[in-house]
Amino acid sequence: MKEFNINTFVRKNIMALQPYISFRDQNEFNAPVMLDANECPFGEFNRYPDSAQKKLKEKLAEIKEVSPSQIAIGNGSDELIDLIIKIFCEPKKDAILMMNPSFAMYGFYATVNENAVLKLDLDENFEIVKDDFLKINKEQQAKIFFLCSPNNPTGNSIQDIEFFVQNFDGIVVIDEAYIEFSENNSGIELLNKYPNLIVLQTFSKAWGTAGARVGVAYASEEIIRLINTVKAPYNVNSLSQELIINLLDDKNRLKENVKKILEERTWLEEQFKNIGCIVKVFPTDANFFLIKMNNAPTVYQKMLEQEVLTSQRSPAIPDCIRINVGSREENEKLINVLKEIQP
């Protein structure tokens, strides 16, 4: 890639912005009398949370082998996506680039921020055509490329990710919400090589804490400083921080969750072979399947009537439904319902 200077990509008003800094969180005290933040003196969670999320970042830094200064914590990955667009994209002027199909929220937050959304159509195997990528990068000049791998809703990992990081003239965001279910390496390994790279991960999927709303961004110290400047002061609550810190101390939690889900994924894949309404099950590296159905709208509706909730992807992906891996009990009900649907 060309020589990268972060200052040429950041909005001027963001560069001049002064972050909100909690005096309490920037200093160490032994037994402080806290009369500085207009809090109630009573209650179990009466104090504001650690705005810098220091303990959580220290634990993650040790696990991921990065510096705490290379980590930003968000109220889910959604908040981080929104903040990244706000930092780099001038409203009514700049554009983002995203794969098509991919996670809809990239386009949603870009539109909310009055930025154009450029879509890079994937091939029949849901891979990026490199020539198409190089062409749109040269002609359209988007500020940010959101690259979801494994991709939602297709389930596949994008091949040769480093090529796209290296050849994009802007910020590349690799969204790894489903990376724990894949055998591929994380983009975190590329951070020290590419200063234009941001890697997003989440505790919502493999960790089983979607209700806690905790997402993580890994990037250069410069980019993380910008995210921390723009984010709300107390964007992640005390309960969520404590929950995730305790989870990280449980070395087996993640392994057990992933093992069970992968076992159920394999079981479901075998069961799908005997379902008449299924036309094709696409390869997946995630905790869900993209499945082509005979008359997908009817199949979706019949499942819904039996209170089996799935995600209809038609007409964006014709005749396709996304179905995530559940518990054995949930998966058995899914299969039983599908078996009753005539092709």
Tell me the average pLDDT across 109-129. 98
Co-location of 263 and 237 in the same domain = no
Co-location of 95 and 198 in the same domain = yes
CATH assignment of the domain containing 204: 3.40.640.10
Question: Does the pLDDT value for residue 333 go beyond 90?
Answer: yes
Tell me the average pLDDT across 49-69. 97
Co-location of 235 and 298 in the same domain = no
In tens, the pLDDT along 141-169 reads: 999 999 999 999 999 999 999 999 999 99
Question: Does the pLDDT value for residue 135 go beyond 90?
Answer: yes
Higher pLDDT, 223 or 19: 223
Co-location of 236 and 265 in the same domain = no
Instruction: Grade residue 29 by pLDDT with cuts at 50, 70 and 90.
Output: confident
User: Is the backbone of residue 76 left (phi > 0), alpha (psi -120 to 50) or beta?
Assistant: left
Q: Which of 188, 217, 249 is the last residue of a domain?
A: 249
Question: Does the pLDDT value for residue 21 go beyond 90?
Answer: no
Co-location of 188 and 257 in the same domain = no
Sheet of strand 95-100, all strands in order from the earlier edge strand to the far edge: 71-74, 215-218, 197-202, 171-175, 144-148, 95-100, 116-121
Q: What is the pLDDT of residue 211?
A: 97
Co-location of 205 and 270 in the same domain = no
Question: Does the pLDDT value for residue 24 go beyond 90?
Answer: no
Q: Which of 227, 249, 271 is the last residue of a domain?
A: 249
Is position 1 within any domain? Answer: no
Co-location of 45 and 187 in the same domain = yes
Co-location of 289 and 213 in the same domain = no
Instruction: Grade residue 86 by pLDDT with cuts at 50, 70 and 90.
Output: very high
Tell me the average pLDDT across 181-186. 96
Is the alpha carbon torsion for 81, 136, 152, 322 positive or negative?
positive
Greatest Cα pair distance in the chain: 70
In tens, the pLDDT along 235-262 reads: 999 999 999 999 999 989 999 999 999 9
Question: Does the pLDDT value for residue 2 go beyond 80?
Answer: no
Q: What is the pLDDT of residue 1?
A: 57
Co-location of 110 and 258 in the same domain = no
Tell me the average pLDDT across 324-329. 98
CATH assignment of the domain containing 281: 3.90.1150.10
Co-location of 239 and 256 in the same domain = no
Q: In this prediction, what percent of the chain has a pLDDT beyond 90?
A: 91
Q: What is the pLDDT of residue 41?
A: 94
Co-location of 235 and 284 in the same domain = no
Is position 22 within any domain? Answer: yes
Is position 120 within any domain? Answer: yes
Domain count, the chain: 2
Is position 164 within any domain? Answer: yes
Q: Note whether 123 and 130 are within 8 A (CB).
A: no
Instruction: Give the domain extent around 314.
Output: 252-339
Q: What is the pLDDT of residue 260?
A: 98
Is position 276 within any domain? Answer: yes
Instruction: Grade residue 49 by pLDDT with cuts at 50, 70 and 90.
Output: very high
Question: Does the pLDDT value for residue 57 go beyond 90?
Answer: yes
Q: What is the pLDDT of residue 276?
A: 95
Question: Does the pLDDT value for residue 79 go beyond 70?
Answer: yes
Co-location of 168 and 286 in the same domain = no
Please state, rounded to an integer, the average pLDDT across all residues of the chain: 95
Question: Does the pLDDT value for residue 59 go beyond 60?
Answer: yes
Question: Does the pLDDT value for residue 25 go beyond 90?
Answer: no
Question: Does the pLDDT value for residue 104 go beyond 70?
Answer: yes
Instruction: Grade residue 18 by pLDDT with cuts at 50, 70 and 90.
Output: confident
Q: Which of 249, 273, 297 is the last residue of a domain?
A: 249
